[in-house]
Homo-oligomer: A and B are copies of this chain.
Amino acid sequence: MDASNGLGDFEETCDDDIKSFLDSSPPLKNAAEIKRKTEEFMRTNSNSENPKRIVLVTSGGTTVPLEQRCVRYIDNFSSGHRGATSAEYFLRAGYAVVFLYREGTYQPFCTSLPNNPLLECLQVTKESNIAACPQYEKTIKEAIINSHVVTSCGTLLKLPFTTIFEYLQNLKLIASSISSIGSRALFYLAAAVSDFYVPWESMAVHKIQSSSGPLDMRLVQVPKMLLMLRRDWAPKAFCISFKLETDKNILLKKAGTALEKYNMDMVVANELLTRKEEVIVVTKGGNVVVQRDRTRADADVEEPLIKLILDRHSASVSSVS
């Protein structure tokens, strides 16, 4: 451990917190299968004839259960739209993508469809065939074709999560595997990760009863895994984290702190109300304001954002090799 940067005590406390968090989490049910899928994905995409760059895109919010036999939980608002759209751009740019997403949130190539596309976009014809309603035909077909192509040629691996416990265990597992390709690995951590949780061992086993007055809850901070990701799990990877705030006055300060504290390569700062129009990319070399192209109605902010990231990641790969 390097204590000379003044972060020694902070790092040590974090290590203990993270170890205790992971040790006390309910174990991932399908860890062996996730490991197998990730390793197969790595073999397909990082062999010597075809050494792709690989990005882990995390997307959607994590939940914090309030009861072990869970009826209630705290959720973090996130549709997963940014993560899903970004994954598309990475795929188009030739990256192989591990998409770690919250169950039920947006999927790559499906971000412009209504909530319930089956009922809202499809019909059964007189000849008893399934057909898209005319206004959705192009979008629906592209969604199906693009999704099938990337899945069948092995450049997109989708892995779902729900709770904070599942998310962080998945992150560790995937990071340890992806780290084998060094600087060609990219982490794009767009998921909305819970800041507070109820430790599993102090959690009520049964549904909390409502008959006995108000409910007082004490939530403790989720340990900051970014530090461990950066330092231990994937030290050579290019790491991008996200900071979402509703109060723009504290946004850049908090993004800057995260950049320093966790030694990120970039922090993407979003404000809740304007996040689809503009983000500010905070880096050690200065801030870059990224805006969507307002001359095109369907342009999104992810297009210029991913373009910037591709450039910076390329520069970083070149400087290492």
Please indicate the chain B residues that have their CB under 8 angstroms from the CB of A104 in the complex. Answer: 104, 115
Instruction: Pick from A9-17, A214-222, A232-240, A305-313 the stretch touching chain B.
Output: A214-222
Please indicate the chain B residues that have their CB under 8 angstroms from the CB of A118 in the complex. Answer: 110, 113, 117-118, 140, 143-144
Interface membership of chain A positions 121-138, coded 1 if the CB is closer than 8 angstroms to chain B and 0 otherwise: 011100011111000000
* Chain A contact residues, CB within 8 Å of chain B: 63, 66-67, 69-77, 103-104, 107, 110, 113, 115-119, 122-124, 128-132, 140-141, 143-145, 147-148, 192, 194-196, 205-208, 210, 213-221, 244-247, 272-273
Q: What is the minimal beta-carbon distance from A220 to any residue of chain B, in angstroms? A: 5
**Sample (9) of A-B pairs whose CB atoms are under 8 Å apart:** A72-B77, A74-B74, A107-B119, A110-B119, A118-B144, A119-B144, A207-B247, A216-B216, A217-B219
Q: Is the CB of B207 within 8 A of A244?
A: yes
CA–CA, A205 and B130, complex, Å: 47
CA–CA, A119 and B124, complex, Å: 18
Please indicate the chain B residues that have their CB under 8 angstroms from the CB of A75 in the complex. Answer: 63, 72-75
Copies of this protein chain in the complex: 2
Q: Known: A74-B72, A247-B206. Is A107-B103 also a contact (CB below 8 A)?
A: no
Taking CB as reference atom, which chain B residue is nearest A76? B72
Residue of A67, A194, A246 contacting most chain B CB atoms (<10 Å): A246
Please indicate the chain B residues that have their CB under 8 angstroms from the CB of A219 in the complex. Answer: 214-217
CA–CA, A200 and B240, complex, Å: 35
CA–CA, A273 and B205, complex, Å: 14
Q: Is the CB of B69 within 8 A of A73?
A: no
Please indicate the chain B residues that have their CB under 8 angstroms from the CB of A66 in the complex. Answer: 74
- Closest 4 pairs between A and B when the two form their complex, measured CB to CB: A195-B210, A69-B246, A215-B219, A206-B247
Q: What is the minimal beta-carbon distance from A26 to any residue of chain B, in angstroms? A: 16
Residue of A145, A208, A215 contacting most chain B CB atoms (<10 Å): A215
Please indicate the chain B residues that have their CB under 8 angstroms from the CB of A103 in the complex. Answer: 115
Please indicate the chain B residues that have their CB under 8 angstroms from the CB of A144 in the complex. Answer: 118-119, 122-124, 130
Name 19 extra pairs, CB < 8 A, besides A107-B119, A130-B140. A69-B273, A70-B77, A73-B74, A73-B77, A75-B75, A110-B119, A117-B118, A118-B118, A119-B148, A123-B144, A123-B148, A128-B141, A130-B130, A196-B215, A206-B246, A214-B218, A214-B219, A215-B218, A216-B218
